Amino acid sequence: MFFQRLADLRIDSDKTQQEIADLLDCKREVYRRYEKGIHEIPVWALIKLAEFYNTSTDYILGLTDNPKPYK
C-alpha cells in the first residue's frame, strides 16, 4: 500500500524524510520505504505520526478524508 498522505503531511509540514526518521528513531531509508509502501508502517510509528501531525491514524491510512483528529 502506498501511503501518499505520509509524504503529503511531511511536505506540508516542511519536514524532510530525515527529520521524520529522527522523530521515529529510524534510518531515513526505512522511513522512505514506509512512504513508498515497500514496508508496512508499524502501529506505534503510525500513532506517533498521527500525534505529531495532529491528525487521526484513519486519515493517514486513507480511511477518511477528514484530517481532524478524533475527540
Summarised one tens digit per residue, pLDDT across range 5-51 is: 999 999 999 999 999 999 999 999 999 999 998 999 999 999 999 99
Q: Which amino acid is at 12?
A: D
Spell out the domain ranges in the chain: 4-61
> What homologous superfamily does CATH list for 4-61?
lambda repressor-like DNA-binding domains (1.10.260.40)
Quick one: residue 21, left, alpha or beta (phi over 0 = left, psi -120 to 50 = alpha)? Answer: alpha
| 1 has pLDDT over 60 | no
How far CA 67 is from CA of 10, 18, 40, in Å, comes to 14, 23, 21
First to last CA, the chain: 27
**Residue 19 pLDDT:** 98
Say what the pLDDT of residue 26 is.
Answer: 97
